[in-house]
Amino acid sequence: MKRIAIIDDEELILDSVKQYLSRSKRFKIDVFSNPQEALKEVLRAKYKLIVLDIMMPELNGIDFLEKVKKEVPQTKVIMMTAYSTLDKAISSKKIGADDYLTKPFVSLRDVENKVLDCLEIH
Amino acid sequence: MYKEEFIDLLLDNSNDLVLLFDENKQLLLSNNSFNKRFNFKLLFKNKKEIKKHFPPKTNGQYLNAYSIKSWFDLLLAKNKNYNLILEQENKTYEFKIKAIKNNDLSIVILKNISKINSLRKKQIRRIKLESIGKMFAGMSHEINTPLTIMKNNLELLELELEENSSINKQNKHHIDSIKSSITRMESIVRNSNELVKKSPDKKKSYNLYSVLIQSLNLFFHHSKNHMNIFINNKVFSLDIKKNEEKIFFEFNKDKIEQVILILLSNAYDEFFKSKKDLKKRALNIFIYQNEKGIFLIFRDNAGTGINEDIIHQIFEPFISTKDYSGIGLGLNIAQKIIKEHKGNIKAYNQKQEAVFEIRF
């Protein structure tokens, strides 16, 4: 099972995404609503992939991404953003994000597809 | 002599309109800019020509062609700045008038401020739009989070019901209704963002017909009890294949979808308040390509056409016919998107039906 982390300050979003992705039993999923705690854990544990929200209090997703790409560059990152900050998500690709999702998601199935693509699981 | 030449040179190279009067209030000279603007030479040659250009309507006063002197008397008497609105050949010019009176010489300067004023108005409008847009963008971000939660949980709920084989037609109908309402809210939120930002240009080659069918599929649950939709004279149903026709060109799929949803929502809102029998309600959509371009036309018979009072400004922001909903941004956004695609959108009435025609 691939280890993935989902980081968003909205717990109800974390719950629903975790619930959907757990269905296939392909992933071991950790969720974090506190970005500072999440960063410590992401740098310590070896996640294959993190799904990361851009707009978070205390530590925003872009700074988070920079630290991840510097310390654990092999970790894949999918950014999550609302449409109003889509430009940030797109520019985050320049600093190493592998893909991005816009909120509201097209569907949870689409989230899963992006995760699978990113991890090259077909 | 030298002085006069010098003054002539100065005046004739000025963009301001200048008149010089002597102590008897006789006109001494008018500069090139004035002569050009008022066709001044003709003024003294041909009385018919005078009538053509004068009297211009000033601030409630009329300038009589034969009493130009008294008009300038008035200007000089004011001896202070004031503005003159001049209507000439269907155009409106605005001048700031400055009259300076000396013992033996009076100067009247008419400064054309039409451009400055229109620029200022545009700037104020832009600032207003930007502030409203920023407010919407902030609000939309707050709305997006609960929308995401609603959408995710609805998807999970549907899946669970399907897996337990406990979903029935009625449940499915409720779920589809919620889904289409969420889609509508998403579209509102996205529209509000369009006001402040340029979303990234993601133009690719797509089939416009497929995009139209996909948008209609999303909208259908929402609209089916209020209007009948026809595409190229065929009744729309969920069975229509999205590749039945092929109209490929490069466009931004998300944005064109947004335009289609705006036009569909507007038609829906009109039908919603219409008292017409459902059987007679028709939104006719025409999609075709010919030597003049690619056309996408929406024609609805919800009312008696677009209100003639606002039809000429229907693409302006905050122009709305809806007294119970809508803030009048949809068509403005649609026009912005179509322009970004180097296309054209126009609104007109045809046989008492409202028509919105897009041409790429």
Least confident of A12-16, A44-48, B24-28, B143-147: B24-28
Which carries the bigger pLDDT value, residue B61 or residue B238?
B238
Classified as helix, coil or strand, A41 is: helix
Which chain B residues are closer than 8 Å to A10 by Cβ? Answer: 145, 148-149
Question: pLDDT value at position B240?
Answer: 86
For residues A112 and A26, is the Cβ–Cβ distance under 8 A? no
B78 inside 8 A of chain A by CB? no
3-state secondary structure chain B: CHHHHHHHHHHHCCCCEEEEEECCCCEEEECHHHHHHHCHHHHHHCHHHHHHHCCCECCCCECCHHHHHHHHHHHHHHCCCEEEEEEECCEEEEEEEEEEECCCEEEEEEEECHHHHHHHHHHHHHHHHHHHHHHHHHHHHHHHHHHHHHHHHHHHHHHHHHHCCCCCHHHHHHHHHHHHHHHHHHHHHHHHHHCCCCCCCCCEEEEHHHHHHHHHHHHHHHHCCCCEEEECCEECCCCCCCCCCCCEEEECHHHHHHHHHHHHHHHHHHHHCCCCCHHHCEEEEEEEEECCEEEEEEEECCCCCCCCCCHHHCCCCCCCCCCCCCCCCHHHHHHHHHHHCCCEEEEEEECCEEEEEEEC
Q: What is the mean pLDDT of residues B232-248?
A: 89
Question: pLDDT value at position B55?
Answer: 40
Q: Which residue of B has its CA nearest to A10?
A: B145
Task: Quick: pLDDT tens for A10-38.
Answer: 999 999 999 999 999 999 999 999 999 99
Least confident of B27-41, B81-95, B228-242: B81-95
Please check the confidence at residue B133 and state whether its pLDDT lies above 80.
Answer: no
B90 inside 8 A of chain A by CB? no
Hey, are the CB atoms on B152 and A20 less than 8 Å from each other? Answer: yes
Residue type, B24: N
Hey, are the CB atoms on B152 and A83 less than 8 Å from each other? Answer: no
| CB-nearest partner of B141 from A17, A82, A105 | A82
Please check the confidence at residue A42 and state whether its pLDDT lies above 90.
Answer: yes
Question: pLDDT value at position B153?
Answer: 96
Q: What is the mean pLDDT of residues B300-318?
A: 83
Q: Which residue of B has its CA nearest to A85?
A: B141
Hey, are the CB atoms on B152 and A55 less than 8 Å from each other? Answer: no
Please check the confidence at residue B198 and state whether its pLDDT lies above 80.
Answer: no
A57 inside 8 A of chain B by CB? no
Please check the confidence at residue B45 and state whether its pLDDT lies above 90.
Answer: no
- Best A15, A16, A53 residue to mutate vs chain B (most B CBs within 10 Å): A16
Question: pLDDT value at position B199?
Answer: 54
Task: Quick: pLDDT tens for A56-95.
Answer: 888 889 999 999 999 999 999 999 987 666 677 777 888 8
Q: What is the mean pLDDT of residues B224-233?
A: 89
Question: pLDDT value at position B46?
Answer: 38
Q: What is d(CA B258, CA B251) in angstroms, rounded to the nearest whole number?
A: 12
Hey, are the CB atoms on B141 and A108 less than 8 Å from each other? Answer: no
Q: What is the mean pLDDT of residues B86-91?
A: 62
A83/chain B closest Cα distance in angstroms: 7
Question: pLDDT value at position A112?
Answer: 95
| CB-nearest partner of A13 from B148, B186, B190 | B148
Classified as helix, coil or strand, A104 is: coil
Q: What is the mean pLDDT of residues B55-64?
A: 38
Q: What is the mean pLDDT of residues B136-148?
A: 83
**Angle ∠(B304,B307,B312) on CA atoms, nearest 5:** 135
Q: Which residue of B has its CA nearest to A55?
A: B141
Q: Which residue of A has its CA nearest to B188?
A: A83
Question: pLDDT value at position B63?
Answer: 38
Residue type, A91: S
Residues 79-118 of A with CB under 8 A from B: 82-87, 90, 103-105, 107-109
Maximum average pLDDT range among B52-61, B205-214, B324-333: B205-214
For residues A98 and A90, is the Cβ–Cβ distance under 8 A? no
- Best B152, B164, B175, B198 residue to mutate vs chain A (most A CBs within 10 Å): B152
Classified as helix, coil or strand, A28 is: strand
Q: Which residue of B has its CA nearest to A54?
A: B141
Indicate the pLDDT class of residue B68, thresholds 50, 70 and 90: low
For residues B22 and B104, is the Cβ–Cβ distance under 8 A? yes
Maximum average pLDDT range among B92-96, B181-185, B334-338: B334-338
Question: pLDDT value at position B338?
Answer: 93
Alpha helices in chain A (DSSP H): 11-22, 35-44, 61-71, 86-92, 108-118
Question: pLDDT value at position A9?
Answer: 92
A71/chain B closest Cα distance in angstroms: 30
Please check the confidence at residue A118 and state whether its pLDDT lies above 80.
Answer: yes
Please check the confidence at residue A103 and state whether its pLDDT lies above 50.
Answer: yes
The residues with which B33 forms a beta bridge, in sequence order, are none
Least confident of B58-62, B86-90, B270-274: B58-62
Maximum average pLDDT range among A4-13, B114-123, B178-187, B197-206: A4-13
Least confident of B67-81, B253-267, B345-359: B67-81
Q: pTM of the full predicted structure? A: 0.55
- Number of A:B CB contacts under 8 A? 64
B202 inside 8 A of chain A by CB? no
Please check the confidence at residue B183 and state whether its pLDDT lies above 50.
Answer: yes
Question: pLDDT value at position B66?
Answer: 38
Q: What is d(CA B333, CA B262) in angstroms, rounded to the nearest whole number?
A: 9
Q: What is the mean pLDDT of residues B125-150?
A: 81
Q: What is d(CA B56, CA B65) in angstroms, rounded to the nearest whole number?
A: 9
Among candidates B276, B130, B193, B272, which has minimal Cα distance to A83?
Answer: B193
Question: pLDDT value at position B82?
Answer: 61
Q: Which residue of B has its CA nearest to A8?
A: B145
Q: What is the mean pLDDT of residues B91-101?
A: 72
Please check the confidence at residue B151 and state whether its pLDDT lies above 60.
Answer: yes
Q: How many CA atoms lie within 13 A of B18 on its CB side?
A: 19
Please check the confidence at residue B84 and state whether its pLDDT lies above 70.
Answer: no
Q: What is the mean pLDDT of residues B173-197?
A: 79
Please check the confidence at residue B49 and state whether its pLDDT lies above 50.
Answer: no
Which carries the bigger pLDDT value, residue B10 or residue A101?
A101
